[in-house]
């Protein structure tokens, strides 16, 4: 029974981690006032590049770095379109997702049945041998610790540093921030690139640690779920972490039900995470005032100092 609990916790954390990573990046991007709907595309490109590099160099960590770079590169395209060329952010984000799906399918074709040595869970020496708590807390994938540290970092940056305050100010009112003299566009560029790198890290985790393999469209909508989670979290990092693990648990429920011999078709169980996303999004949005109070006021609006 205790082993069972430990396994469940480990699987929940593992399933929630890509959402934490991608969500943390998108949260920072959105806090600067930019809505990047391309998370799914950036995750896929991060995943495929990480996998290809890991397969060819036999170094999964090099793959992770390459995946982050590739996704950040893709987010740069989005940044140029929306920040320099002032394109509609919704349209550009959709374009990024559609392009990412196509690009990753194209470059990943030769790697579909390739096997790589994935990044294994990291048993922290000393403490991981403790009874119960050792396995519960100290024997997860390194990405799990990285994602929790990332949330702590984002929380600290946004609410405890001057740079974070400036970024939030730009997200609330780019005009005022510009009038004071802050480089609105440059900071938004940085926020978009950070979001891209995080999405790439999330994709890389899926491709070289969680599964580890490459299949077309392997993110299966996690990028979109991460976007929904940012709203669910009302743009607060710690709530994002809680939401992501909630989803990890829902993803797990389908495997649990099958293991318990529940006579449900697998397709209907696979619907759970998507239905759950709709439900939580609806629950949190029901109170329009909460969303209005917490959403960055300039979210999704292009900014040009002369307009």
Q: Please give the residue ranges that form the binding site for other proteins (CB under 8 A).
A: 37, 41, 77, 80-81, 85-88, 90-92, 94-96, 98-103, 105-106, 109, 180-183, 216, 220-221, 224-225, 227-228, 231, 265, 267-268, 270-271, 274-275, 277-278, 281-283, 285-286, 288, 291, 304-307
Q: How many CB atoms lie within 10 A of CB 36?
A: 28
Which of residues 105 and 153 has its CB atom nearest to other proteins in the complex?
A: 105
- The candidate with the shortest Cα–Cα distance to 101, out of 39, 19, 44, 18, is 44
Minimum CB separation of residue 301 from other proteins in Å reads 13
C-alpha to C-alpha distance for 53 and 48, rounded to whole angstroms: 9
What's the closest the beta carbon of residue 179 comes to other proteins, in angstroms? 8
Q: Which is nearer to other proteins, 8 or 305 (CB)?
A: 305
Residue 65 or 76: which CB sits closer to other proteins?
Answer: 76
Residue 258 Cβ, how far from other proteins at the closest point, in Å? 14
In the bound complex, what is the minimum distance in angstroms from residue 81's beta carbon to other proteins?
Answer: 5
- First-residue to last-residue Cα distance in the chain: 63
Of 119 and 230, which has the nearer Cβ to other proteins? 230
Q: Which is nearer to other proteins, 149 or 179 (CB)?
A: 179
Q: How far is the CB of 109 from other proteins (least distance, A)?
A: 5
CA distance 57 to 48: 14
What is the radius of gyration, based on Cα positions, of the chain?
Answer: 19
- What is the rounded CA–CA span in Å between residue 92 and residue 65? 25
What DSSP string runs through 37-92? TTHHHHHHHHHHHHHHHHHHHS-HHHHHHHHHHHHHHHHHHHHIIIIIS---HHHH
- In the numeric block, which tokens belong to residue 32? 């600067």
Shortest spacing between CB 290 and other proteins, in angstroms: 10
The distance of closest approach from Cβ of residue 253 to other proteins in the complex, given in angstroms and rounded to an integer, is 15
For residue 66, what are its two tokens?
Answer: 């390459």
On whether the CB atoms of residues 152 and 132 are closer than 8 A, the answer is no
Residue placing its CB nearer to other proteins in the complex, 50 or 177: 177
Strand spans (E) along 150-249 = none
Q: Which is nearer to other proteins, 8 or 279 (CB)?
A: 279
DSSP conformation class of 214: -
Residue 223 to residues 33, 120, 229, Cα–Cα distance (Å)? 19, 23, 10
């Amino acid at each position: 029974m205790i082993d069972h609990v430990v396994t469940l916790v480990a699987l929940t954390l593992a399933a929630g981690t890509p959402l934490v990573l991608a969500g943390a990046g998108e949260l920072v991007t959105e806090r600067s006032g930019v809505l990047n709907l391309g998370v799914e595309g950036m995750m896929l490109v991060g995943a495929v590049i990480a996998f290809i590099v890991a397969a060819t160099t036999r170094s999964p960590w090099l793959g992770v770095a390459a995946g982050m770079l590739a996704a950040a590169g893709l987010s740069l395209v989005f940044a140029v379109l929306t920040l320099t060329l002032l394109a509609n952010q919704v349209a550009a984000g959709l374009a990024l997702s559609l392009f990412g799906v196509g690009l990753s399918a194209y470059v990943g074709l030769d790697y579909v049945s390739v096997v790589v040595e994935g990044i294994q869970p990291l048993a922290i020496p000393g403490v991981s041998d403790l009874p119960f708590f050792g396995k519960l807390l100290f024997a997860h994938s390194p990405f799990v610790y990285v994602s929790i540290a990332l949330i702590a970092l984002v929380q600290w940056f946004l609410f405890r540093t001057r740079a974070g305050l400036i970024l939030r100010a730009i997200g609330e009112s780019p005009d005022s921030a510009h009038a004071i003299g802050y480089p609105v566009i440059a900071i938004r560029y940085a926020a978009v690139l950070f979001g891209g790198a995080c999405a790439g890290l999330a994709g890389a985790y899926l491709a070289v640690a969680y599964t580890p393999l490459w299949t077309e469209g392997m993110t299966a909508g996690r990028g979109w779920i991460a976007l929904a989670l940012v709203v669910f979290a009302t743009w607060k990092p710690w709530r994002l972490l809680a939401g992501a693990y909630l989803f990890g648990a829902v993803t797990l429920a389908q495997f649990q039900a099958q293991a318990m011999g529940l006579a449900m078709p697998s397709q209907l169980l696979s619907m759970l995470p998507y239905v759950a996303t709709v439900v939580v999004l609806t629950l949190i949005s029901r109170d329009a005032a909460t969303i209005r109070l917490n959403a960055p006021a300039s979210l999704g609006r292009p900014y040009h100092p002369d307009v």
